[in-house]
Chain A
Amino acid sequence: MSAHRDPKEKRYWLDDPANVTRLVRVFYVVCAALIAIDVFVPKHGPFAIEHWFGFYGFFGFLACVALVLIAKQLRKVLMRPEDYYDR
């Protein structure tokens, strides 16, 4: 990638992998904090499951992991070469 890049080109903050790692760590802390404040939020939803500790957070996490893993498996069944319909 960087092999054919113009050396005079501006270096962006995100070009440094260390900065990306920093950003991701901040994000982890924010996620942890979001789950932690769940204790202080009074809940009003009609379904009992909503009142579980951090339900929405854990659900979102698991839903996305499941989505990606299932979609990855679906590729085996659904994926075809780009010119599939032209042959």
Chain B
Amino acid sequence: MIGEFSPGLILILGALLVPLLRGRLRAIYMLALPVAAFAHLTTLPHGDLGIIELSGVSLTTLRVDKLSLLFSYVFLVAALICVIYSLHLRDTVQHVAALIYAGSAMGAIFAGDLVTLFIYWEAIAIASVFLIWASRTEDSYRSGMRYLIIQVGSGVLLLAGVLIHYRQTGSLAFGALGLDTPGGLLIFLAFGIKSAFPVLHAWLPDAYPRGTPTGTVFLSAFTTKVAIYALARSFAGTDILIPIGTVMAAFPIFYAVIENDLRRVLAYSLNNQLGFMVVGIGLGTDLALNGAVAHAFADILFKGLLFMSMGAVLFRVGTIKGSELGGLYKSMPWTTGFCIVGAASISAFPLFSGFVTKSMIMTAAMEEGYFWIWIVLLFASAGVFHHAGIKIPYFAFFAHDSGKRCQEAPLNMLVAMAVAAALCIGIGSFPDFFYTLLPFETGYRPYTLDHVVAQVQLLFLSALAFTLLMRTGIYPPELRSVNIDAEWFYRRAGRSLADGARMAAENGWKSVTHGIGRTISVVIAYVQRHHGPEGLLARPWPAGTMALWTTLMLGACLILFYL
């Protein structure tokens, strides 16, 4: 069918025209792209569409069902919000890269087979790195390189896994896979890198804080959520995901507490929220899967909102280090307000989006009887409020007055934040419509008296702990520093190893070249002795001598012939 193409292609191909447009026209055009993609989306029926036959292999480029639709809605909303947020930019590279990136994420969501998934998986990696490089610093260039190597590496693992899987089963379907085959294992690992499993996560807090103020908002929305979607598609109910997700939810919060770069704090809290989703996918019950994908939906909005507020601070003040900020509520009251809405949503305050989504995962863990998993997740819930809910707004906008005064964020940024904030409150306060979009019908009700009271108690007393630690001076101050993480293995240990190897190679090479040099000089000396200006074989000889020698040689041949 001619109309059966992925809505992602509207963004990808549409992005290519952006460089031709200028000013207001470009703004209107970029805003129209997600709207056009949505309009196209509404015309598509459910089912496997856009099937392409390619040398005997059939590829499903467009699978429309409840799960892919849910993610496509939030991706389009995120794309629209991010475009609004970056309208003030005069950077064509960023505009084009961001739209291709969002479109590729959409394409991956609708992929019905693993080859289509792989193509978009790599497109996501390549398009997104330009949002990091667009910072145009040495630091962001290097970080972008590391990011690209890891992301493309994840794609290579995916491709290897897909090929092995295809040889073994003859199927390319992007459906449920197991961990019992090498192909499935490789695909799992590829998904794991992109969804930032512990130890495989270091690219996330490394690269995201180095993107441009607007680019990081895009980054936070798409890459990891595509991976979560892929896990939900292929590895729902895989037990190993439960401990993996629990570790993911817990360990980044320690880093978040001591981190000074507030966008890196958010990157760690993104990692922590992904942990909740991974646990939900691992539990695999209807409620848990609903919770995982609903939380991914909500996270795109509230994490985007938090990144937008921090991006606005970075844009206006020029730094995002907690040690240098404070008191900005006086200069940026609207941004402060939107940031607090994002903070309340990620912390799962009643009436905000996190409350109606994360609780499904918590309840599912309880129902399945995972006591210790539940306890750790509860600890992580208190922790996320602590670092994302309190620390971010507190150190940026309140705390001690840094004396910094700036303008409020540009109007387009405020509009984007307002839309995201409205959605966070809308989902949290009126969850019924949102629940109808989820893949399963579970009849879950978030607003029960004991749930609300328990959550408010948990959050208020967490805040009490912060207040007491702050006022007694026990709370660790924001310090200019970096904290070593898994990236240490390739940025320090790996580099030392590489340096050592390079030194050894250089020394080896030196002795080789030295040896070759000596040989060459011996040869040259020999040649020079015989062929040089004074050499025996280089003297100008008279033609008569030559004739004599020729005659002698011919004579010798004659004699030898007759003997």
Partner-B contacts on A (CB < 8 A): 1-2, 4-5, 10, 12, 14-15, 24, 27-28, 30-31, 34-35, 37-38, 41-47, 50, 54-65, 67-72, 74-75, 78-82, 84-85
Contacts and interface: CB of A to CB of B under 8 A. Distances in A.
Given A57-B461, A74-B254, A64 B480 contact: no
Contacts of A64: 382-383, 386, 461-462, 465-466, 469
B454 interface: yes
B366 interface: yes
Given A34-B456, A56-B454, A85-B491, 6 more contacts: A12-B329, A30-B460, A47-B374, A60-B382, A60-B458, A60-B461
B366 A1 contact: no
Contacts of A42: 449-450
B24 interface: no
12 contacts: A46-B366, A56-B453, A56-B455, A56-B458, A63-B382, A63-B462, A65-B465, A68-B469, A69-B474, A72-B476, A78-B255, A80-B484
Contacts, number: 154
Interface residues on B, range: 35 or more
A30 B458 CA distance: 13
Interface stretch (B115-123, B289-297, B396-404, B532-540): B396-404
B464 interface: yes
Interface of B: 253-255, 257-258, 329-330, 366-367, 369, 371, 374, 378-379, 382-383, 385-386, 398, 400-401, 403, 448-450, 453-467, 469, 471, 474-476, 479-485, 491-492
Given A34-B456, A37-B453, A46-B369, A68 B481 contact: no
B467 A27 contact: yes
A80 B481 CA distance: 6
Most chain A CB atoms below 10 A, which of B379, B385, B457, B463: B457
Most chain A CB atoms below 10 A, which of B385, B461, B480: B461
Contacts of A67: 253-254, 257, 379, 382-383, 386
Contacts of A10: 330
Contacts of B400: 1
Contact of B258 (A46, A50, A59, A74): A74
Nearest to A65: B465
B516 to A, nearest CB: 35
Nearest to B366: A46
A59 B398 CA distance: 27
Most chain B CB atoms below 10 A, which of A4, A30, A45, A61: A61
Nearest to B485: A78
A67 to B, nearest CB: 5
B89 to A, nearest CB: 28
Contacts of B367: 46
Contact of A70 (B254, B461, B479): B254
A35 B382 CA distance: 16
Given A72-B258, A75-B476, A63 B378 contact: yes
B469 A31 contact: no
Contacts of B385: 60
Contact of B471 (A5, A24, A60): A24
B124 to A, nearest CB: 26
A37 B459 CA distance: 15
A61 to B, nearest CB: 4
Given A68-B475, A79-B483, A80-B482, A60 B465 contact: yes
B484 to A, nearest CB: 5
A30 B456 CA distance: 11
Contacts of A61: 461-462, 464-465
B538 to A, nearest CB: 57
Contacts of B369: 46
Given A41-B450, A45-B450, A27 B484 contact: no
B498 to A, nearest CB: 14
B384 to A, nearest CB: 10
A78 B457 contact: no
B280 to A, nearest CB: 18
A65 B453 contact: no
Contacts of A45: 366, 450
Contacts of B398: 14
Contacts of A1: 400-401, 403
Contacts of A34: 453, 456-457, 460-461
B457 A38 contact: yes
A57 B258 contact: no
Contacts of A14: 329, 398
B183 to A, nearest CB: 36
A50 B454 contact: yes
Nearest 5 interchain pairs by C-beta = A64-B465, A57-B457, A71-B257, A60-B458, A60-B462
B458 A79 contact: no
B207 to A, nearest CB: 13
Contacts of B450: 41-45
Contacts of B481: 79-82
A68 B457 CA distance: 19
